Amino acid sequence: MSATDGNGLKDRIIRVGTRKSQLARIQTDSVVEMLCKQYPGLHFEIVAMSTTGDKILDTALSKIGEKSLFTKELENALERNEVDLVVHSLKDLPTSLPPGFTIGAICKRENPHDAVVFHPKSCGKTLNALPDKSVIGTSSLRRAAQLKRSFPQLEFRDIRGNLNTRLKKLDEKEDFSAIILAAAGLRRMGWENRIGQILNPEDCLYAVGQGALAIEVRAKDQEILDMVSALHDGETVLCCIAERAFMKHLEGGCSVPVAVSTLLKDSQLYLTGAVYSLDGSDSLRETMQTSVNYPQQNEDGPNDDVQHVGITAKNIPHRAQEAAEKLDLVASSFYKDHRWDCTFHW
């Protein structure tokens, strides 16, 4: 099957795995809609399921100790051939996937930055304008570590639950003056009007892969892999390869809260990466760049399905992907002399 016709799949129903949350369903619906436009003759069925991360709501994610909190059950279904592909938020996927799986597509990225949603009594304010000791809710140690540095007059506390639950906790109680959420999720839910402030990279770098949707497939299911590859967005893929390679390098040694920001401009890929102590008092931050100006070549052969940090993207120049992935070598030289006694969080 070519990546443009889908004829080999017309006689079957393609099952798409997803989490049960409202946001996950919206994201999956958007992916299925794109696939239907690309392949109008194909038929899709959405299979929703709960993951471990959806079920454990009374414990901070950083204390659970499981990297595949939001993916394991979905990957089990993929392995058992109960679904043909799975839609994830890319930031939920570890940099090393289980054997036999690959990320077959990364869709065009939504706004990757973090956003502040204020309590109704604080609407119209910014974080700097809140009274000292105001409490800010976040489920992310990455966000808390950075924001403690930028806004030392504020206090930060954990808040769990899906988007709906966290917004309800904010609006109906007096526990929080504001909460920090991913702008992408708010926009996809149609709640952009709740965004009171977008955090710029100087205040808060974002999580690896934040704002991007990934489609995970069985690596040897060539028909499905070819089909979903049509949804790859080249710029997003290169940025996310660089981000995931940066995080993978840090996972290999001492691990700390990790944050990034990437930009592709004039064929130059820029990655700003940072690591923080848990309380935000110590940090290392550096910006790296590389050229990704390589033409697409006919690369059929033994390496035509090569993965870069779990991503298979044959329709994007291989040498450009290699350059993006090798940015972590620059990170290695920058961080090699630092050893922090911390736990990895994103």
Phi, psi dihedral angles at 19 (to 5 degrees) = -70, 165
Nearest-10 Cα torsion for 217, 223, 226, 232: -40
In whole angstroms, what is the distance from residue 136 CA to residue 166 CA?
A: 12
Closest by CA to 109, choosing from 292, 237, 297, is 237
Residues sharing a CB contact under 8 Å with residue 154, sequence separation 6 or more, in sequence order:
127, 130, 132, 133, 134, 135, 136, 147
In whole angstroms, what is the distance from residue 224 CA to residue 144 CA?
A: 39
Q: What is the 8-class DSSP label of residue 230?
A: G
Pick the catalytic residue from 92, 114, 233, 328.
92
Closest by CA to 158, choosing from 176, 184, 172, is 176
Q: What is the 8-class DSSP label of residue 108?
A: P
The token duo for 162 is 């899906």
Q: Is 92 a catalytic residue?
A: yes
Active site residues per annotation: 92
